[in-house]
Amino acid sequence: MTYASAVLIGYDYWRRRRDQVEERVQWNPERLANHHVGIAGAPGAGKTHWIRNFIEGQSDDVEVDIFDYHGDIEVPGAKTVLFSESTKYGFNPLVLNPDPDYGGVRRAVNDVIAAIGNTSRALGTNQESVLRNLLTDAYSLKGISATNPSTWYRNEATDEQIHRLIEQQDWAGLRQVYPTLHDVTTLARRKLKALWMGIEDKDEGRQVLTAFDEFCRVMATLNQRRMKNASQASDDTELAQLDSKLGSIKMRALDGFGTFLERMQSGREFEEVVKYNSKDVLLSVINRLENLQAIGIFNSNPPPFGNARIRRYNIKPLAQSEDELRMFVHFRLQAIIREEMQRGEAHGRIRRLVVVDECVLFNDESRSNPINVIATQMRKFGLALLQAGQSPTHMSEEFLSSAGTLLLLNLSPTIWDSAARRLKIDQKMLQYLQPQHTGAVRLTEKGQIPAFKQVYFA
Residue scoring higher pLDDT (390 or 200): 390
Superfamily of domain 7-77+309-457: P-loop containing nucleotide triphosphate hydrolases (3.40.50.300)
- Residue 201 pLDDT > 50: no
Q: Bigger pLDDT: 379 or 200?
A: 379
Whether 49 has a pLDDT exceeding 90, the answer reads: yes
Residue 38, pLDDT above cutoff 60: yes
pLDDT band, residue 213 (cuts 50/70/90): low
What would the pLDDT profile of 363-409 be if each residue is shown by its tens digit? 999 888 999 999 999 999 999 999 999 999 999 999 999 999 999 99
Dist CA 149 CA 111 (whole Å): 18
pLDDT at 299 over 70: yes
Does position 222 have pLDDT exceeding 60, yes or no? yes
C-alpha pair distances (Å), 287 with each of 9, 147, 280, 396, 412:
48, 30, 11, 31, 40
pLDDT at 115: 80
Provide the mean pLDDT of the chain.
Answer: 87
Least confident of 64-73, 162-171, 235-244: 235-244
Spatial contact of 381 and 341, defined as CB atoms under 8 Å apart: yes
pTM metric for this prediction: 0.79
Predicted confidence (pLDDT) at residue 209 exceeds the cutoff of 60: no
Strand 383-389: give its sheet, edge to edge: 24-27, 7-12, 452-457, 438-443, 405-408, 37-40, 383-389, 352-356, 63-68, 310-314, 79-82
Report d(CA 196, CA 291) in Å as an integer.
Answer: 22
Q: Among 13-17, 86-90, 116-120, 341-345, whose mean pLDDT is lowest? A: 116-120
Average pLDDT over residues 114-139: 87
Query: In the chain, pLDDT over 90 holds for what percent of residues?
Result: 59
Q: For the residues 27-53, what does the mean pLDDT come to? A: 95
Residue ranges per structural domain of the chain: 7-77+309-457, 105-197+289-293, 203-262
Q: Does 199 have pLDDT greater than 50?
A: no
Pairing of strands 63-68, 310-314: parallel
The arithmetic mean of pLDDT across residues 14-34, rounded, is 91
What span, in angstroms and rounded, lies between the C-alpha atoms of 132 and 223? 45
Specify whether the backbone of 71 is left (phi greater than 0), alpha (psi in -120 to 50) or beta. Answer: left
pLDDT at res. 371: 96
Task: Indicate the residue type of 357.
Answer: D
Segment 306-357, tens digit of pLDDT: 999 999 999 999 888 888 889 899 989 999 999 999 999 999 899 999 999 9
Question: In the predicted model, is pLDDT for residue 235 greater than 70?
Answer: no
pLDDT over 70 percentage in the chain = 88
